[in-house]
Amino acid sequence: MAADRFGENRQGTMGRVRPISLPPVPYDATAVRPDWAALPGGLRDAIAGRLGGPPAAVRVAGAGFTRGFAAVLTGPDGDQIFMKAAALDGQRHLADWYFHEALILARLPAALPVPRPRWALTEAGWYALALTAIDGRTPRLPWDQAELDAALAGYAEVAAALADPPVELVALGLPRLADLARDDILRWGEVAAGREPTPELPAWAPLPELAALESRLPGYAATGGLAHGDLRVDNLLLDADGRAWFCDWTWLCHGPAWFDLVTLLLTGYASGLDVDAAFADHPAAADAPDDALDVTLAALAGYFLTSAAAGPSTASPHLRVHQRWSGEQALGWLAARQGWAPSA
């Protein structure tokens, strides 16, 4: 377990006291993005035309693991938008993600705390999407318990609204988490069969048990409403009133909301908080199978740890170390629950 960087221990999972672990690079400094001046002149002119003039201020986003343009733009009149943009040639996958996200955001239930599309344009070989700018900040790590509680309360609202998927969203033909699990997330079975390289693991990590646990995820994920699919701390913003806003909806899928809870709570585990209780007490986990948390942790550990061993990424120089850290948190949390490793 990583050393406590704050010189203190907190009460952790299953009543143990264990050290806090922070990600190797802060989540708000993981992206390598172009600045405003690097965008094509024709694109800048088109955006300025929508803003009523050149932006008075540009604040490039430091969070994320892509090289797409992302920034808060302040127009001449003080109006703000959050802009995402990607080149159609060379970043087509990002442009497609942004277009898909705009379709989702426009169809999410109206009262939910999510950004909304303002407008979009294609110019100079780029696609640009303008969203409402949320006046908020990414939660700090280690999590403050009150801020995590606010995020969990906000997600309870989101999960309840998506439990019976709106027909407008279903019509988009969203993917199914069960299929995503079979096609990409489950890795321990592949490792055991020799089809995937074995990542660096502690001696106590039992590969057969990990593969057996993760194998249950597709069956469990076949039920439920809609899940965000990428719920983590850097896809959240807290406004001045302490309300949580949920961003980056590209990976919305059919599946149980408790899957999102696990991905969000990984950083809660790293913060030394009682994440077992947080999961068990959350409304989104009310109908979860008894071992859903362990099954999901096993799957996430395998996905992150094998991905981290895949070699350098062109998306972000920090992606692999973050995947490694996330995998270690998932495996550590699961080990604490299963009694596989000595307590810290």
Q: pLDDT confidence of 17, banded at 50, 70, 90?
A: low
Mean pLDDT over the full length of the chain: 93
User: What is the pLDDT at residue 145?
Assistant: 96
Q: How many percent of the chain have pLDDT more than 70?
A: 94
Average pLDDT over residues 132-145: 96
3-state secondary structure of 71: strand
State how far the Cα of 19 lies from the Cα of 3, in Å rounded to an integer: 6
* Residue 15 confidence (pLDDT) above 70: no
Q: What is the pLDDT of residue 11?
A: 43
Q: What is the rounded distance in angstroms from the CA atom of residue 342 to the CA atom of residue 292?
A: 23
Residue 341: predicted pLDDT: 75
Cβ burial of 10 (10 Å; 0-12, 13-18, 19+) is middle
The CATH-assigned architecture of domain 29-132 is: 2-Layer Sandwich (3.30)
Q: Mean pLDDT lowest for which of 75-79, 193-197, 340-344?
A: 340-344
In percent, the amount of the chain with pLDDT more than 90 equals 93
* Domain range summary for the chain, segments of one domain joined by +: 29-132, 141-338
**pLDDT > 80? residue 1:** no
Rounded CA gap, 73 and 324, in Å?
33
pLDDT greater than 80 at residue 9: no
Q: How distant, in Å, are the alpha carbons of 184, 281, 330 from that of 287?
A: 25, 11, 22
Residue 255, pLDDT score: 98
Q: Tell me, what's the pLDDT at 6?
A: 24
pLDDT tens column, 246-271 = 999 999 999 999 999 999 999 999 99
Identical fold between 29-132 and 141-338? no
The confidence band for 18, taking pLDDT boundaries of 50, 70 and 90, is low
pLDDT band at 167 (very low <50, low <70, confident <90, very high): very high
φ, ψ (nearest 5 deg) of residue 91? -130, 35
Mean pLDDT, range 81-89, rounded to an integer: 98
Question: Per-residue pLDDT averaged across 44-57, rounded?
Answer: 98
Report pLDDT digits (tens) over 295-342. 999 999 999 999 999 989 999 999 999 999 999 999 999 999 999 976
pLDDT band at 19 (very low <50, low <70, confident <90, very high): confident
Q: Is residue 182 pLDDT above 70, yes or no?
A: yes
Looking at residue 12, its pLDDT comes to: 44
pLDDT at 7 exceeding the cut of 90: no
Number of H helices, E strands in the chain: 12, 12
Q: In the predicted model, what is the mean pLDDT of residues 122-151?
A: 97
Residue 124, number of CB atoms within 10 A of its CB = 16
The three-state secondary structure class of 40 is: coil
The rounded distance, in Å, linking the Cα atoms of 282 and 296 is: 16
What's the CATH number for 141-338?
3.90.1200.10
DSSP code, position 197: P
Task: Look up the pTM and report it.
Answer: 0.93
Task: Say what the pLDDT of residue 2 is.
Answer: 29
Q: Between 185 and 17, whose confidence is greater?
A: 185
Q: Return the exposure string of 14-49: e unless at least 16 CB atoms fall within 10 Å of the residue's CB, then b.
A: eeeebbbbbbeeebbebbebbebeebeeebbebbee
234 pLDDT more than 80: yes
pLDDT value at residue 45: 98
**Which phi and psi angles does 82 have, rounded to 5°?**
-105, 120
In the chain, the amino acid numbered 147 is E
pLDDT score, position 5: 23
